[in-house]
């Protein structure tokens, strides 16, 4: 098992190098550079930007630029943002990543807490009124665009009822300690639900069909024939088998957690990685694009590794040597 994990982690390295080359090439292939969009200011002499391009090495051949970036990356230096003058990429990302991870986890918890019990219930009582309403809710959840749901939520719960704050992550800078935590959670409720909505629907549908599937299988019939009670059949045999696809889903979710939720972040002015990523692409902020992509790559690889490890825990038949 340990060997397996180490082997998997070693394989990450060539994958990430490949990923970085492809993303670098793509980013450079996009027309323009960090200064092209800026030049629409008639009081600024475009010559100024050429000088800055030169200073940043943007006029060098692309392979040279890639190797310069890769060497500093290998030394652990993510470089300096080309758009946010004087800011290094590390500080930009670390400032946002906290918000993003909190919000992602919050949404995930909401998703799981809501989706799994309902999914199980629906499977155990298929075609019951609750199953039908859960299905309806599920399709609605998938069908309603995030930004629309977010806007409605802000209008009703923040502006009309005033229960939750409409924007941002914290009321002000002076809140500290436990009340800071509460304040942040308070700010997270609306974006968290908005973000978790589609996930909830997906997980619920998955859970329902998996449990239904497993419930119909031979070994469950055997377990029941042995005289095992329903409760034990459900928890000991059914769930363990039904949970595997959910783990696969969550492996992906781990990466999605970091990529942030661009639309939700924007509707709630919630400064996260998603917005940073979009802006860095718009502004051709190459060092930031590269760092975030690599970060996402790492997160997805780790998420998958974790998922594979969990498989072996949940399902003893799966072994890695």
Partner 1 sequence: MNRAFRRLLILLVFLCMMGFLLVACNDDGDEEGAENEDTTENTDDGEEGKEEKAESGPQAGGTLTGAMYSAPAGMFNPIFYEEAYEANILSFTHDSLVSQNESLEFIPSLAKEWETNEDQTSLTLKLEEGVTWHDGEEFTAEDVVFTYKSMSDPDYVSAGGIRTAYVLPLLGYTAYSSGETDTFEGVVAEDDYTVTFHFEEPNINPLYYASFPIIPEHIFKDIPVAEMPEAAESRDAGAVIGTGAFKFTEMVEREQYILERHEDYWQGTPYLESIVWKVVAQSVMTGLLESGEVDFIADPNGIPPADFETVQGFGNIEIIEQPDFGYQLLGFKHNHRTSEDVEAGALEPDNWVPNEKLADPKVRQAISYAVNREGLVEGLLYGRGQPINSPIATQFWAYDDAAATNYNYDPEKAGSMLDELGYVDANGDGFREDPEGNEWVLNLDYPTGNELREKTAPLLKQQLEEAGISVNMRQPKEMTAYVEELTNDNTDWDLYLLGWSLGSADPDPSGLWATKAAYNFSRWNNPESEELMQKALKAPEAFEQDYRAEVYSEWQTVFSEDLPALLLYAQNSLWAYNKRLQGVEPLPYTMYQDAHLWWVNDAN
Length of the chain in terms of residues written: 321
CB of 41 to partner 1, least distance (A): 4
Q: Which is nearer to partner 1, 113 or 185 (CB)?
A: 185
Q: Which is nearer to partner 1, 138 or 251 (CB)?
A: 251
CB of 119 to partner 1, least distance (A): 24
CB of 161 to partner 1, least distance (A): 11
CB of 174 to partner 1, least distance (A): 9
CB of 238 to partner 1, least distance (A): 25
End-to-end CA gap in the chain: 6
**At a CB cut-off of 8 Å and minimum separation 6, what does 19 contact?**
293, 294, 297
Q: Which is nearer to partner 1, 20 or 238 (CB)?
A: 20
* Interior/surface letters 145-164, b for 16+ CB within 10 angstroms, e for the rest: ebeebbeebbeebbeeeeeb
Q: Which is nearer to partner 1, 116 or 307 (CB)?
A: 307
**At a CB cut-off of 8 Å and minimum separation 6, what does 106 contact?**
185, 188, 192, 196
Q: Which is nearer to partner 1, 81 or 238 (CB)?
A: 81
Q: Which is nearer to partner 1, 80 or 131 (CB)?
A: 80
Between helices 2-29 and 62-74, what is the axis angle to 10°?
Answer: 150
CB of 170 to partner 1, least distance (A): 6
> Can you read off the two tokens belonging to residue 298?
């790492």
CB of 136 to partner 1, least distance (A): 27
Q: Which is nearer to partner 1, 238 or 291 (CB)?
A: 291
The sign of the dihedral angle between the CA atoms of 105, 144, 202, 256 is: negative
CB of 101 to partner 1, least distance (A): 16
Over 227-277, what HEC string results? CCCHHHHHHHHHHHHHCHHHHHHHHHHHHHHHHCCHHHHHHCCCCCHHHHH
Answer for the pair 66, 21: CB distance below 8 angstroms, yes or no: yes
Answer for the pair 113, 193: CB distance below 8 angstroms, yes or no: no
Q: Which is nearer to partner 1, 111 or 283 (CB)?
A: 283
* CA nearest neighbour of 284 among 65, 19, 105, 48: 65
């Amino acid at each position: 098992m340990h060997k397996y994990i180490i082997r998997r982690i070693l394989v990450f390295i060539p994958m990430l190098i490949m990923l970085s080359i492809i993303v670098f090439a793509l980013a450079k292939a996009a027309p323009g550079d960090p200064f092209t969009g800026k030049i629409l200011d008639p009081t600024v002499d475009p010559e100024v930007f050429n000088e800055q391009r030169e200073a940043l090495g943007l006029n060098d051949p692309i392979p040279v630029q890639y190797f310069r970036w890769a060497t500093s990356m290998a030394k652990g230096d993510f470089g300096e943002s080309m758009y946010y003058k004087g800011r290094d990429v590390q500080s930009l990302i670390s400032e946002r990543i906290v918000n993003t991870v909190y919000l992602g986890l919050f949404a995930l918890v909401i998703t799981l807490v809501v989706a799994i019990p309902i999914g199980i219930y629906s499977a155990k009582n298929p075609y019951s009124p609750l199953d039908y309403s859960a299905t309806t809710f599920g399709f609605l959840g998938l069908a309603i665009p995030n930004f629309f749901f977010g806007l409605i939520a802000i209008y009703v719960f923040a502006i009309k009822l005033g229960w939750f704050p409409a924007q941002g992550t914290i009321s002000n800078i002076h809140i500290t300690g436990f009340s800071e935590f509460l304040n942040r959670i308070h700010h997270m409720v609306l974006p968290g639900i908005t973000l978790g909505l589609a996930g909830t629907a997906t997980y619920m549908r998955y859970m329902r069909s998996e449990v239904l599937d497993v419930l119909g299988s031979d070994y469950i019939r055997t377990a029941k024939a042995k005289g095992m009670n329903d409760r034990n059949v459900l928890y000991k045999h059914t769930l363990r088998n039904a949970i595997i696809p959910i783990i696969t889903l969550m492996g992906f979710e781990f990466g999605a957690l970091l990529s942030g939720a661009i639309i939700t972040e924007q509707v709630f002015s919630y400064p996260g990685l998603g917005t940073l990523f979009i802006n860095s692409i718009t502004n051709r902020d190459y060092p930031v694009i590269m760092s975030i992509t690599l970060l996402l790559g790492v997160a997805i690889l780790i998420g998958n590794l974790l998922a594979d490890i969990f498989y072996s825990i949940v399902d003893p038949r799966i072994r890695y040597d």
